Structure 1
């Protein structure tokens, strides 16, 4: 068995994995399972109503869960995979708790091959929230993960800079991270 197969087995049983991204370690659950998503909120002690982003493996999966305009595709193809979370109108296939009643979902496509292989083999998005209790620092090593999980996927020490969160419709940077200047320049080309 490979780590990818092991992770997919855990996720299919509504289990939780800790996985590497190019920023911090994420806490992954099958984003199509309402039970698994509720476990993530409970384990992180995260307030219900506070949205949780999801990670996808490719553009097809993104199109299945969100409404993506032509301009948004141009943005996605410029910045993903990479340390950017793009917020888009959500489709009804995801548990509504993930969008926190906003009608939007944050979507990551991590620049980590193993993580994308796991999502691809699961054939479903996974939660993309840091593997920590709400309000504590996001983990960059296994030792810093302070929530329970079923499987840890080693990725070494990570950068620690959180992903830049961008609401594409309002063209606002909701949380600064890497690439802010390039993102701002991209939005100026749309004006």
Structure 2
């Protein structure tokens, strides 16, 4: 059994897995399992009132969990896969705990082969929060992943710049990170 199959097995049983992305290490759990999501919040010591983003493997999966308008789809096509998290209205299938009661969900399509293979093989969204204690430094190496987990997929040293978070309904940047300048230019041009 390879490491991806092993990770998928943990995800299928409400486990939590640390995985590499093109930004930092993520903490992945089944985004449709309340039990798995609660384990992520506990592992990170994150307040339940704060939303947790999810990662999907393709546009089809993104559109299954969110509602979009045509101009938003242009933005999504321009920046994903990549180091950008888009905040969109969540569909009813998304557990409310992930939205922090806002009705909105942050979604990424990581531009990292291991992350994409993991999500594709799991065939469902996984959580996409950083693999660190809430408020701690974003993890660039496996040693910096300080949260309890069932499995860690070692992707070596990662860039360490978190994704830029963009609320597409408000056309605003929530958190500047990787590619923030290009995101700002796109938003101001549309």
- The TM tier, using the shorter chain, reads over 0.9
Alpha-carbon separation, structure 2, partners of 1:142 and 1:46? 20
Alpha-carbon separation, structure 2, partners of 1:141 and 1:107? 23
For 2:102, the equivalent position in structure 1 comes to 102
Report the Cα offset of residue 188 of structure 1. Answer: 2.1
For 2:59, the equivalent position in structure 1 comes to 59
Alpha-carbon separation, structure 2, partners of 1:152 and 1:81? 22
Report the Cα offset of residue 189 of structure 1. Answer: 2.3
For 1:146, the equivalent position in structure 2 comes to 146
Moved more, 178-187 or 141-150: 178-187
* Alignment partner of 1:34 is 2:45: no
2:36 counterpart SS class: helix
Structure 2: stretches of 5+ with no match in the other structure: none
Structure 1: stretches of 5+ with no match in the other structure: none
Report how many aligned residue pairs link the two structures.
190
TM-score (norm 1): 0.97
1:178 counterpart SS class: coil
Report the Cα offset of residue 4 of structure 1. Answer: 1.5
Alpha-carbon separation, structure 1, partners of 2:141 and 2:188? 37
TM-score (norm 2): 0.98
Alpha-carbon separation, structure 2, partners of 1:181 and 1:52? 24
Q: Give 4+ residue runs of structure 1 displaced > 3 Å after superposition.
A: none
Report the Cα offset of residue 148 of structure 1. Answer: 0.8
Alpha-carbon separation, structure 1, partners of 2:9 and 2:160? 28
1:74-113 pair list within 5 angstroms: 74-113=74-113
1:36-64 deviations in whole A, cap 9, x for unaligned? Answer: 00111111110011000000000010011
For 1:188, the equivalent position in structure 2 comes to 188
2:19 counterpart SS class: strand
CA RMSD of aligned residues (A): 0.8
Report the Cα offset of residue 116 of structure 1. Answer: 0.8
